[in-house]
Amino acid sequence: MDTFNKFTTNARQDIEFFGTARARLGFMPVEPVLLYVTGGLAYAEVKLSGSITNPACFGFCGPASTTDYQTGWTAGGGLEYAFAPNWSAKVEYLYYDLGSLSQQILDPRTPGAFIAQSVGFMANIVRAGVNYRFYGDDSDY
């Protein structure tokens, strides 16, 4: 015989949009290779949703959803290689930390009863890209 009610919890975190405003500082150990570090502001719209349910909602039951705009920081580095006039390819690593978002799941049947949730929005990004420079002397790499 079960003495406790079985329950199901669901939690989901989403980033609706994400952006950065960064500075980049680098040097060329060998032309046309640029090694650089980058860092600055990170910003996003983040969402946290969760629910707790069990059969017939006996015991604690309830959903919650919270959306917020978060700002934080980002830092990383990369390598850029100029392979033709006005063209370059790059590989970049970024770490970002947008802080955390918290919410309470309230039990509508029991005033004052809640379960608190908190989640951190931080991650690692590795990306590659190709750039075209619209300005400058075509003979420069």
DSSP 109: T
Beta-bridge mates of residue 65? 49
Q: Domain for residue 139, yes or no?
A: no
Q: Domain for residue 1, yes or no?
A: no
Model confidence at 18, in pLDDT bands (50, 70, 90)?
A: very high
Per-residue pLDDT, 98:
97
Asked if 75 and 67 touch (Cβ cutoff 8 Å), the reply is no
Q: Domain for residue 25, yes or no?
A: yes
The encoded tokens of residue 12 equal: 């989901």
Q: Domain for residue 42, yes or no?
A: yes
Which candidate, 51, 87, 81, 88, places its Cα nearest to that of 66? 51
Q: Is the pTM for the entire model greater than 0.85?
A: no
The encoded tokens of residue 81 equal: 């290689």
Question: Over 60: is that where the pLDDT of 11 sits?
Answer: yes
Asked if 121 and 73 touch (Cβ cutoff 8 Å), the reply is no
What percentage of residues in the chain have a pLDDT greater than 90?
65
Count the helix, strand and coil residues of the chain and give each as a percent rounded to the nearest 5: 0, 75, 25
Please tell me the distance from the alpha carbon of residue 98 to that of residue 73, in angstroms, as a whole number. Answer: 7
Domain containing 102 — which CATH number? 2.40.160
Backbone angles phi, psi at 57, to 5 degrees: 50, 45
Q: Which amino acid is at 97?
A: D
Residue scoring higher pLDDT (132 or 63): 132
Q: What is the pLDDT of residues 43-102, one digit of tens each?
A: 999 999 988 887 767 667 788 899 999 999 999 999 999 999 999 999 999 999 999 999
Q: Domain for residue 70, yes or no?
A: yes
For the chain, how many structural domains are there in total? Answer: 1
Tokens 């947008």 label which residue?
A: 98
Per-residue pLDDT, 141:
47
Q: Domain for residue 137, yes or no?
A: no
Q: Tell me which H or E stretch contains 13.
A: strand 8-30
